[in-house]
Amino acid sequence: MSVSQLDMFLSEIGKLRADYQGIDARIVAFDWNGTWVNLASRFVLSPNLRKRPYRHQRSLSRIGELCLISDTIPVEKLIEITDIFANGHLSLQDKTIQFRRWGNQKWDSPYVPVFSCLNNSGRGNWDRWNVFAYSLRADESGGSMRELLQNDGIRRLESKLSSLPAPFTGIADLSTDFVGQPWVHDILSWNRLEIVAPIQVNFVSSAKLENNRAMILYDVAPGYQISKVSMGYVTSQADRTLTRGRIANRAKVKSGQTDTYQSSVRIPSSTEGLTLILSYRGQEVDRQTTNRTVISGENARITSYAKSDPDLELFHRAIEPQEKKDLSHFEDAVRVLFTFLGFSCMKPMTSDSVDIIAFTDDPQQVLLAECTTGAPDLHDKVGKLANRRNAYRKTTSPVAMIATSLPIDEISAVDQDRARKDGIVVVSRENLIELFTMANQGTTPRNVLGYLSQLLGSPF
């Protein structure tokens, strides 16, 4: 008998059961002729039992046919959640929620589980959050949000959502806001049930070279055991491996929402490339490969550019415009900045396209950028960028961002919230300055995408 998708998920997370204490449960359900039916839900295994309040809970409670469940469940009850795929229902907070596929105008069989690894060291299904995770999701067949929107009951519910004091554009908007940003890109084809087991152990930045020692920083979220973290390395010159081994030394350098540790390893003077592999309980969770110019903190692109713009005076005036005459060069400066950061950048020749497409040799590292010297959502920039991003999704998984010359305190909360709901990263003047600092330090495109992901926010 072949191993089922559910069995694969349970087998992989078995070694992590000692780390998890609770399950953060988020469910959006609606009353369909007296039966509570799931619309969107996510269950995230966590090393703690903290509760996350939801700011719109009170106003949404006015809608009688809508049910929002936010609860922390002991991890021992994981079997009750995974049984959803067999039984098609879950009882929680005195309500029994049906988890069934919608097809032929009726609620049909239970969801079909699909197991996957998310952010598998930069080679997985989804690299948005820069955190490795095991995922068990409902198969899209017969269960997509797009099909549900044809349901008359859902349409009536959406009309009420749009009339609230803090309105929602629809079920997709509410689901994103309450359950969290989807791992998959298109909310309309979002699998409506997901169980996620994250391992929040990852590199902070590229390694730096000090006296022929590579200095490495990595984060470990509270609850994960530092004794179970291990790191391997491989040094190379051209296509020849020089040394390989494990790095045992570590020291905590910062405590907080995540603990930051530093390790180091001596590398041969002839090293051109360094690959670092971070593992937790024997599972690779993050990886970075850098060349010697990055390790040493040099940036050859900045050095070459500075020959035509000494001290980068024109660049700085354009990226941080103080006078009106400098505003017209802002888009050019953003393009140059992402070139410094290791991307190839171009402006599409078509008129109805994004301002900048930035990419690397890795087809998963694609960035779509709009640039503005005003408000991020002026002239519906957020909506237009979201639509343009969707056109690329058939072949790649681009990150979409709006770069503005405005400082963060001049960007309205409304614009930031609108962009966040559409999965658009807003990059302020301060963020651009920080990105330039990263470029000066010789960062990698992968770290840049991780930084942008952090600006958008993490579901964990």
Q: What distance in Å separates the CA atoms of residue 325 and residue 319, rounded to the nearest whole number?
A: 12
pLDDT at 332 over 80: yes
Mean pLDDT lowest among 19-33, 50-64, 68-82, 87-101: 50-64
Provide the pLDDT for residue 151.
66
Region 58-68: mean pLDDT is 89
Q: Which has the minimum average pLDDT: 78-87, 213-222, 344-353?
A: 344-353
Residue-range domain boundaries for the chain: 5-198, 201-295, 300-456
Is the domain spanning 201-295 CATH 2.60.40.10? The answer is yes
Q: What digits encode the pLDDT tens for the residues 95-152?
A: 999 998 766 667 778 888 989 887 654 433 334 456 788 989 887 654 455 556 566 7
Cα atoms found within 13 Å of the Cα of residue 369, Cβ hemisphere only: 30
Q: Is the pLDDT of residue 271 over 50?
A: yes
pLDDT averaged over every residue in the chain: 85
DSSP states along 348-404? -SSSSS-SEEEE-SSTT-EEEEEEESS-TTGGGHHHHHHHHHHHHTTT---EEEEEE
CATH of domain 300-456: 3.40.91.70
Given pLDDT bands bounded at 50, 70 and 90, which one contains residue 184? very low
The verdict on pTM exceeding 0.85 is no
Cα–Cα dist 367/336, whole Å = 14
Which DSSP category does 277 fall into?
Answer: E
* Residue 165 confidence (pLDDT) above 50: yes
Confidence check: pLDDT of 340 > 80: yes
The 10s digit of each residue's pLDDT in 239-262 is 899 999 999 999 999 998 889 999
Tens of pLDDT along 420-432?
888 899 999 999 9
- pLDDT confidence of 355, banded at 50, 70, 90? very high
**Which pLDDT does position 183 carry in this prediction?**
54
φ, ψ dihedrals at 404, nearest 5°: -125, 145
